[in-house]
Amino acid sequence: MSDTEKFKRKQFGNRFLKNEEDVFKHNAWDNVEWNEEQESQALTQVCEHVRTKMSEEKATDLENNADQFWDKFYSVHQEKFFKNRCWLFTEFPEITSLYDRKSSCLLEVGCGVGNSVFPILAHSAQNSVHVYCCDFSSNAISILKTNPEYNENQCTAFVCDITADEWNPPFALESLDIILLVFVLSAIQPDKLKQTVKKFYEYLKPGGMILFRDYGRFDMAQLRFKEGRCISDNYYSRGDGTLVYFFTQNDVQEIFVGAGFQEIQNIVDRRMQVNRGKQLKMYRVWIQCKYQKPIL
Ligand SMILES: C[S@@+](CC[C@H](N)C(=O)[O-])C[C@H]1O[C@@H](n2cnc3c(N)ncnc32)[C@H](O)[C@@H]1O
């Protein structure tokens, strides 16, 4: 087993399906290999999505009003939709290592209602880490701020569209140790990624880290899309109007390395989730990456 393989297994859990007959004995299997037939079926589905794209007019309207669709999402679901990201500390030990420093700053971009922010605050007993967090949905930020665990000495939440030319954030250039991106870059227009990542570079300290986890190409959520939801290759609008892009490892590499970052990790996490009651197999694909701003 290669070092990368060992690392992957350690990080992503270690329940491996060795015998197909056992598939419905557990709720999930790690590091599932896809066979050629499965890959080619997925590709056929995705080509069909592109063939039945939505009109450009509709796509432009969805993109221009993206914040309003997320606002609606949070007014319907409040804080009940996403689960706390409890895997953060095993996948990203860089966060835990901040707690040992005298003082440090972390920014979570697209924080929603705080499913990463609150676990991070709870672990930071000494108040040594200041957590900044932003989202362009003002509803999400007000829900986050009314959480009894929100504490202004430790956390500053603000509304910000990260694709905008000006951010006006409550911190200085080159002041952040970590920027955390959890299922957020998939939600922005692919043609705005470059300018957005450039901003991340400007606000990180030299040596600072980007921690990224997001949807991967052919994830179950992509293959489930019906006709008329595709905007362009691997980029869709859900029924509620929110946008989602499905990344390859190469996509992420190009964006961050192209902006001057050094690649520390770029891996794909393929998991099979099983609905034992309905005897259903669901294939999840996530991309997890770490990039560092060089110390020049
Ligand atoms: C899939 S949710 C993930 C929320 C959170 N990171 C989590 O894991 O629970 C995507 C989030 O990105 C936010 N978002 C999308 N586009 C954004 C933008 N241009 N600027 C800031 N936030 C954005 C949405 O409002 C939403 O809260």
CA nearest ligand 1 atom 18, residue: 161
Beta strands 129-135 and 104-109: pairing type?
parallel
Distance separating alpha carbons of residues 215 and 218, to the nearest angstrom: 9
User: Which CATH fold topology does 28-292 show?
Assistant: Rossmann fold (3.40.50)
Q: Which of 132, 135, 236, 288 to mutate to test the pocket of ligand 1 (most atoms within 8 A of CB)?
A: 135
Reported in sequence order, the residue ranges of 94-137 that DSSP labels E, i.e. its strands, are 104-109, 129-135
Determine if ligand 1 sits within 6 Å of the CB of residue 161: yes
The answer to whether the beta carbons of residues 177 and 205 sit under 8 Å apart is yes
Question: Given this model, what pLDDT does residue 101 score?
Answer: 85
Distance separating alpha carbons of residues 153 and 141, to the nearest angstrom: 17
Determine if ligand 1 sits within 6 Å of the CB of residue 163: yes
Ligand 1 centroid – CA 112 distance (Å): 6
Ligand 1 centroid – CA 127 distance (Å): 25
For each of the chain's 296 residues, which pLDDT tens digit applies? Answer: 444 444 444 455 676 666 777 766 667 767 778 788 988 999 999 999 999 999 999 999 999 999 999 999 999 988 777 777 888 999 999 999 998 888 899 999 999 999 999 999 988 766 789 999 999 999 999 999 999 999 999 999 999 999 999 999 999 999 999 999 999 999 999 999 999 999 999 999 999 999 999 999 999 999 999 999 999 999 999 999 999 999 999 999 999 999 999 999 999 999 887 777 777 778 899 999 999 999 97
Determine if ligand 1 sits within 6 Å of the CB of residue 135: yes
Question: Given this model, what pLDDT does residue 267 score?
Answer: 95
Ligand 1 atom with the smallest distance to the CA of 244 is 1
Query: Can you give the length of the chain in residues?
Result: 296
Domain boundaries, the chain: 28-292
Question: Given this model, what pLDDT does residue 84 score?
Answer: 79
Q: Where are the alpha helices (DSSP H) in the chain?
A: 3-11, 36-51, 56-64, 66-77, 88-91, 93-98, 117-123, 138-146, 193-203, 220-223, 249-258
Query: Between the CA of residue 158 and those of 2, 103, 192, what are the distances in Å?
Result: 43, 21, 21
Predicted confidence (pLDDT) per residue in 182-225, tens digit: 999 999 999 999 999 999 999 999 999 999 999 999 999 999 99
